Amino acid sequence: MNKDAFKTIVADGLWRQNTGLVQILGLCPLLAISVNTINAVMLALATLIVMAMSNVAIALLRRLIPYEIRIPVFILIVANLVTVVDLLFNAWFNELYVILGIYIPLIVTNCIVLARVEAFASKHPPLAATLDGVFMGLGLLWTLALLGVLRELIGNGVLFSGIDMVIPGMEAMQIFPPDYPGFLLAALPPGAFIMLGCLIAGKNWLSERKKAKDRKAPLVLRGVPGENTVS
Amino acid sequence: MMICPPHLREVNSIPRVMRLVCVALAPGIAVYTALIGPAILVQICLSSVAALCFEALMLKMRALPVRRFLGDHSALVTAWLIALTFPPLSPWWLTVTGVFFAIVVAKHLYGGLGQNPFNPAMIAFAVCIIAFPALMSQWPAQGLTLPFERQLEIVFGFVPRIDALTAATPLDAIKTALKTNALHTGNIQELLMSQNLYGTFAGRGWEWVTMTYLCGGAFLLAMGVITWHTPFAFVTSMAAIAALCWLIDPNRFSDPLFHLFSGGAMLGAFFIATDPVSGCSTPRGRLIFGCGAGILAYLIRVFGVFPDGIAFSVLIMNICAPLIDRYTQPTIFGRRGTESDTR
């Protein structure tokens, strides 16, 4: 794999094709779990592991899977891997596992996983497929983390509540003064939608601004007629 | 744009309509001030300043002529409605948060005046009652008259908020009674009287505020700012469903008159549901809109968890307004056949 292909995978996963902000896939866990940072990051990590593993498994088996029944086969493979992750979470982070509940098994039905498997892993060699899974997962991870941070901070004025479930002994940080009344809406599902809308708007704004900047140099032709026009 | 005769002169410009709405609200505000004290005037000033600031900021960010659009007074009407629907002793930041959501989110993010699918003032109310349910339920106790400085101190947070200042509104009282089954003895009216919440025909004190809103609404009707359809449908449907419940069990449910003159019913019927942007535009559509809003408002205020149902019922009907409009288009003049053919 050459350097350019690697760069494309990284940029697509983290920014250009970001699962949360551009593809807008897998919103159910995104919105339901991002009440606080820890939940969001841990669910995104679980999804990342599943994506990386399922991408590599399917890339290895891609020549053996009959085209006509590929979807059920993909689902079977993904379901196996999700079971592994589910058991791992149950063993290592039991308290968190209870909170995340149904959302870990539901990774099977998460359309990001199936979308990457179908669109990428089934057509590319294992190394590229693994990287794609990892970087798509990382893209999801930072989006979910940011959403979690914003909702937790605005909703309750704290950060990393429940961190002791992942790293024992750590405590949540109180960012705003304790008499902060809390903005309950941010912690409720509508708050998640509003916040995600703001993040998408922010992403679009940044992309548009960059596009406008890139255009500036060769863009003499688009000036007002009479000014700068190339005859 | 009028291009073919007869050329009708449209006298209702946006600034004129908005000014008339403010004039129509004035008597209600006067009675409110007499009842509660000058805190409501402070809230109105506060929300107006905040609304104009947010409006100017958004217009500037959207590269629109600030002076021209600020001059249409639409932000001012939104601000006044927010101040009138929020508890008068709310802390200043609660009002400002409400105005922020009304002007920035509900109005300008959706495309500014004329593009908003939801009533901005009701978005402010809904956001704040979901985010700060406790503060939004703190209505001042009946007969509470605090000196002006004291009210200012409470609004601007110089003194800690004291629960003793607030009491259940008549609507809260009947809801609690309904939920806790406290009515095995006596009826709802006696219960309200025992809590000193019942006036002549509705909630004590508030009945006169809502009565002046009704007069203000009649003024708007007379000036041709609103049509009769929405308020008429709102009031009749609310009265009808209240009468139905009252006839079924007069002990547990209060009479229609009480409901019409409690909470935000009159303000909602004449000033909020009649919003020309987020409401329906066809006559039949307005009847359906008002009807739905009245029934939903009753159901939410009696059986729901929120203190009053006007905001949520109007927002729900706002979502339905485009659909209602689509199916109630009137027959084009000169066309034969039934109205449904014109779709």
User: What are the tens digits of pLDDT across the range B142-199?
Assistant: 666 677 777 777 777 766 666 556 667 777 777 777 777 655 556 666 767 766 667 7
Do the Cβ atoms of B121 and B279 come closer than 8 Å?
A: no
Please indicate whether, in this complex, the C-beta atoms of A188 and B130 are within 8 angstroms of each other.
yes
Q: Which residues of chain A does B105 touch, with a Cβ-Cβ cutoff of 8 Å?
A: 194
Please tell me the number of Cα atoms within 13 Å of B69 on its side-chain side. 22
Please tell me the number of Cα atoms within 13 Å of B185 on its side-chain side. 1
For residue B27, pLDDT beyond 50: yes
Could you write out the three-class secondary structure of chain A? CCHHHHHHHHHHHHHHCCCCCCCCCCHHHHHHHCCCHHHHHHHHHHHHHHHHHHHHHHHHHCCCCCHHHHHHHHHHHHHHHHHHHHHHHHHHCHHHHHHHHHHCHHHHHCHHHHHHHHHCHHHCCHHHHHHHHHHHHHHHHHHHHHHHHHHHHHHHCEECCCHHHCCCCCCCEECCCCCCCCCHHHHCHHHHHHHHHHHHHHHHHHHHHHHHHHHHCCHHHHCCCCCCCCC
Q: Read off the DSSP letter of residue B233.
A: H
Nearest residue of chain B to residue A185 (CA atoms): B131
- Tell me the C-alpha distance between A130 and A121, whole Å: 8
Q: Smallest CA–CA separation between A67 and chain B, in Å?
A: 44
Q: Is A10 on the interface with B (CB under 8 A)?
A: no
Do the Cβ atoms of B309 and B320 come closer than 8 Å?
A: no
ipTM exceeding cut-off 0.90 for this assembly: no
Q: Which residues of chain A does B132 touch, with a Cβ-Cβ cutoff of 8 Å?
A: 181, 183-184
- Tell me the C-alpha distance between A110 and B341, whole Å: 45
Please indicate whether, in this complex, the C-beta atoms of B130 and A194 are within 8 angstroms of each other.
no
**With pLDDT > 70 as the criterion, what percentage of chain B qualifies?**
83
pLDDT at B89: 85
Please indicate whether, in this complex, the C-beta atoms of B132 and A194 are within 8 angstroms of each other.
no
Owner of token pair 């927010």: B82
Q: Smallest CA–CA separation between B96 and chain A, in Å?
A: 14
Do the Cβ atoms of A33 and A43 come closer than 8 Å?
A: yes
- Residue spans of the domains in chain B: they are 12-166, 168-329
Q: Is A185 on the interface with B (CB under 8 A)?
A: yes
pLDDT at B184: 57
Radius of gyration of chain B (CA): 21
Dump pLDDT digits (tens) for B228-276. 999 999 999 999 999 999 898 887 788 888 888 888 899 999 999 999 8
Dump pLDDT digits (tens) for B9-18. 666 688 888 8
Spatial CA neighbour of B72 closest among B113, B24, B11, B124: B113
Q: Read off the DSSP letter of residue B328.
A: T
Q: Is A184 on the interface with B (CB under 8 A)?
A: yes
Nearest residue of chain B to residue A181 (CA atoms): B132
Which residue type is seen at A111?
C
Q: Smallest CA–CA separation between A149 and chain B, in Å?
A: 18
Top residue of A180, A184, A199, A200 to mutate, by most chain B CBs within 10 Å, is A184
Top residue of B58, B104, B132, B137 to mutate, by most chain A CBs within 10 Å, is B132
- Tell me the C-alpha distance between A110 and A108, whole Å: 6
- Tell me the C-alpha distance between B240 and B308, whole Å: 18
In the predicted model, what is the mean pLDDT of chain B? 84
Helix (H/G/I), strand (E/B), else coil: B198? strand
Q: Which residues of chain A does B130 touch, with a Cβ-Cβ cutoff of 8 Å?
A: 184-185, 188, 190
Q: Which residues of chain A does B135 touch, with a Cβ-Cβ cutoff of 8 Å?
A: 181
Phi-psi sector, A225: left (phi>0), alpha (psi -120 to 50), beta:
beta
Among candidates B105, B127, B132 on the partner chain, residue whose Cβ is nearest the Cβ of A181 = B132
Q: Smallest CA–CA separation between B314 and chain A, in Å?
A: 18
Please indicate whether, in this complex, the C-beta atoms of B127 and A185 are within 8 angstroms of each other.
yes
Please indicate whether, in this complex, the C-beta atoms of A181 and B135 are within 8 angstroms of each other.
yes
Residues in B whose CB is inside 8 Å of some CB of A read 105, 127, 130-133, 135
Nearest residue of chain A to residue B105 (CA atoms): A194
Q: Is A190 on the interface with B (CB under 8 A)?
A: yes
- Tell me the C-alpha distance between A12 and A19, whole Å: 9
Please indicate whether, in this complex, the C-beta atoms of A184 and B132 are within 8 angstroms of each other.
yes
For chains A and B, CB pairs below 8 A equal: 15
Q: Which residues of chain A does B127 touch, with a Cβ-Cβ cutoff of 8 Å?
A: 185
Residue A98: how many CB atoms within 10 A of its CB? Answer: 11
Do the Cβ atoms of B173 and B179 come closer than 8 Å?
A: no
Top residue of B90, B92, B127 to mutate, by most chain A CBs within 10 Å, is B127
Q: Who has greater pLDDT, B1 or A67?
A: A67
Q: Which residues of chain B does A194 touch, with a Cβ-Cβ cutoff of 8 Å?
A: 105
- Adjacent-strand bridge partners of B140: B166
pLDDT at A215: 78
Strand A158-159 to A173-174 pairing: antiparallel
pLDDT at A219: 45
pLDDT at B161: 64
**With pLDDT > 90 as the criterion, what percentage of chain B qualifies?**
42
Q: Smallest CA–CA separation between B62 and chain A, in Å?
A: 13
Helix (H/G/I), strand (E/B), else coil: B330? coil
Nearest residue of chain A to residue B160 (CA atoms): A179
Q: Smallest CA–CA separation between B102 and chain A, in Å?
A: 14
pLDDT in tens, chain A (231 residues): 788 888 888 888 888 888 888 888 878 877 888 888 888 999 999 999 999 999 999 999 988 999 899 999 999 999 999 999 999 999 998 888 888 888 899 888 888 888 888 888 888 899 999 999 999 999 999 999 999 999 988 888 888 887 877 777 777 788 888 777 788 888 888 889 989 999 999 998 888 888 888 877 554 444 344 444 343
Taking CA atoms, A168 is separated from A39, A100, A161, A171, B272, in Å, by 15, 18, 12, 9, 53
What is the arithmetic mean of pLDDT over B48-54? 95
- Tell me the C-alpha distance between B79 and B18, whole Å: 12
Q: Smallest CA–CA separation between A115 and chain B, in Å?
A: 32
Measure CA of the first residue to CA of the last residue in chain A; give whole Å. 45
Out of A213-227, B83-97, B193-207, B301-315, which region has the weakest mean confidence (pLDDT)?
A213-227
Q: Is A177 on the interface with B (CB under 8 A)?
A: no
pTM of the entire predicted model: 0.84
Q: Which residues of chain A does B133 touch, with a Cβ-Cβ cutoff of 8 Å?
A: 184
